[in-house]
Each structure stands twice: as structure tokens, then as C-alpha cells.
Structure 1
């Protein structure tokens, strides 16, 4: 399985012709959408979903499956609503929906739905640090957000206990910030940790 990292929270899984795109937001690259077989969206915020580019992709490929929480599905035609506990197949991958709520920033806000996806051992949590009750081989760990502090990211990695972890949700970090966060996660995360440069990929055994 090939894991490609795009800007911020957007990643793509590729295997045997199945190209599964996750959280292609307004900061992600156009190339992320090319030949996508299916799309998973964790929640409604623009850094995780670009409605215009998603609509353009579906105009090119009207049968493109898109899965998202009900709040997103209600606003966009042809999107399948998913909830925690659901399981389904997308682009040849087995997907389990977990979580349910966006992490709090302040005074209960933003208070919207957020689902995570465990995809054949790869976990994308969206905007949350929800710990699923299923094994995770590869954790995509958020490393910078208004709702997150470094200690929470470290505790999240330790609680999930993945074989490996890679940074996502990191567009707001400067180069120096990346180095600082990476040092802590490598030192205290309790697992193999790395940052995938934007546009590059790793192969997951």
C-alpha cells in the first residue's frame, strides 16, 4: 500500500488500482483528486473538504463515491452519510467509521460532527484525538491545530499504540515548528515516527 501526503490533512492511499482520497481540503493540491476511486471526508471544515473541487471531480466521474458525516452529506448531492460504527468497502479498502465529535477549541466550539476512518490498519482521525477500539498499524497524527497541544498529540499516539505514525494536520507549522514537534514525537511518542514531505509517499508493508 502506498501512502501519499498532501498539504495539511489530505492523504491518499493507493493499492491494486484503488486510489482512496481522504480529506481533500482547500489547501490540498489539485493532483490529489486525479483518478481518485473514492473519497472519505471527516467533517465539514474547509481545510478538510473543498466542495467546489469535489463537485468538479464528480462531474468528471459521476460515479465517484464520497463518504462523509450527515452534516456534509446533507449539503452536497451524491454523498453517502456515515456514522461511527459503520463499516463498508471503498476503492477496495475495508473502512471502519469511528469517533463522532470534533475536538473542542473553546467554550464547546465548534461543536460539529467529526468521524475518523480506520482503513485496513491506517487511521485518519480528522480533527480529533479519539482512540478507536480496533488495532491500528499506521496512525496519521495531527500535529498542529487550534484544538490541539503537543502533549495531547503525544498522549494520543501512546494510547493508540500504532506500529508507526506520520504527521498530518500540519500546515500551520513553520519549518522550525515542524522540527520541534518532530523531535518530541520521535522522543516521547513510543513508536516509529516520521514526517512525509508534501507530495512524497511511503510504502506500508
Structure 2
């Protein structure tokens, strides 16, 4: 199974002719969508849910199924994107289902707090055949995780929490996501150094557009 990293929080999972895209946001490269019909979205924020891009794909007669919390429908409606709202397949915490042969478990439920209880939006995490994408959350699932996609920057983010989160999940390996806000060599090197030394797992940054086998 091949895991490919795109800008910020977007990753793609490929296994033979099966493919699944997670959290394509406003910075996601067009090639991430190539051949994709199934998309998992953790929450409604634009850096994870690019309504305009999805609407354009649907307008070109592209077949898309978008799995996420039902709140995504309201977010799509606010962007005047009825086709996107119609393409959303609502899922909820505790659901297990299969998408293009991939086993998916829905966990979490709440976005990490930034300040004063904000942003107060839903956030579901997805475990896809052992690969865990938490969205904007440090939720620790009960289910086993082989590969953790660990957030590495953001207004709600703290390095200590990322380290504690990784230790608590105890995956076989971890790789960073949600890194657009620290997109400098200094920011990357600082986070990578701490994760390598203190996360207690095999840690590796996936180069932009690069892939690892999981």
C-alpha cells in the first residue's frame, strides 16, 4: 500500500488499482485527484475541504463520493455548491465501512481547541487499513494504528501535544502532516528533530509528492 504526501494535510493511499484521497484542501495539487472517486474529509475547514475544487471536478462530470461528518453538507451549501453537498456520504464516530476495498473506521469527533472553545466544529478521524489521519485533533483511538499522520503546525497546535499524542497512539511509524504553516527548513528541522528524538517511534518526513510503502 503506497502513501503519498501532498501539500499540508492531504494524503493519498494507493494499492494496485485502488485509491483513496484524504483531506484535499485549498493547497492540494491537481494531480492528487487523478483517478480518484472516493474522498475522506475530516472537517469543514478550507485547508482540508476545498469546496471550489470539488465543485469544479463535479461540474466536469467527474464521479465523486465524499465521506465525512454531516456538517460538511452545510459548509458546502454556504459555498453555494449543491453538487458537493449532494456528493457527501455522512459518516459518524464508530462507523466502519469499506471504500474501494479499504477498511475505514471513524474515530474522534471534535476539533482541537484553539482559544475560548473555538472553533467549535466537528472533526472526525479516519483509520484506513491501519493508517490514521486525525484531521485537526489529537484524539487517541482504541484501535491499533500502524502509521500515524501526526499534525505538525497550526493555531491549535503545541509540540508537546504532538509528542504525547504519538506516544499514546504508539504506532509502528509516524509521518508529519498539517505542515503548511511551518513550511520552512528551520520549522521542518525543528519539528523533525524533536519527533525523531522523543516520539518513541520510527519517524520520517515524506517529501512533498513523495511516497512510502505502509
Q: What TM bracket, shorter-length normalisation? A: over 0.9
Alpha-carbon displacement from aligned partner over 1:67-94 (angstroms, at most 9, x marks no partner): 0111103431221111100111112100
Offset of 1:132 from its aligned partner? 0.4
**Partners of 1:38 and 1:66 within 8 A in 2:** yes
Match of 1:177 among 187, 191, 200: 187
Offset of 1:62 from its aligned partner? 4.6
Match of 1:82 among 91, 115, 119: 91
Alignment correspondent of 2:167 = 158
State how far apart, in whole Å, the 1-side matches of 2:40 and 2:103 are. Answer: 12
Alignment correspondent of 2:82 = none
Which segment is superposed worse, 73-82 or 97-106? 73-82
Q: Which runs of 5+ in 1 are unaligned?
A: none
The alignment status of 1:140 with 2:158, answered yes or no, reads no
Match of 2:212 among 181, 202, 205: 202
Alpha-carbon displacement from aligned partner over 1:19-62 (angstroms, at most 9, x marks no partner): 10000000111111111131000000000011111122234455
Partner SS, residue 83 of structure 1: coil
**Partners of 2:109 and 2:122 within 8 A in 1:** yes
TM-score between both structures, scaled by the size of structure 2:
0.93
**Partners of 1:18 and 1:37 within 8 A in 2:** no
Q: Which runs of 5+ in 2 are unaligned?
A: 77-84
Report the CA distance shift for 1:61/1:96 in structure 2 as closer, same or farther (over 3 A).
Answer: farther
The alignment status of 1:124 with 2:133, answered yes or no, reads yes
Larger proportion of helix = 2
**Partners of 2:37 and 2:63 within 8 A in 1:** no
Offset of 1:64 from its aligned partner? 2.0
TM-score between both structures, scaled by the size of structure 1:
0.96
State how far apart, in whole Å, the 1-side matches of 2:211 and 2:56 are. Answer: 25
Partner SS, residue 116 of structure 2: coil
State how far apart, in whole Å, the 1-side matches of 2:124 and 2:197 are. Answer: 29
The CA RMSD measured in Å over matched residues stands at 1.1
Q: Tell me the number of residue pairs that the alignment of Structure 1 and Structure 2 aligns.
A: 204
Alpha-carbon displacement from aligned partner over 1:139-179 (angstroms, at most 9, x marks no partner): 00001011111000000000000000000000111210100
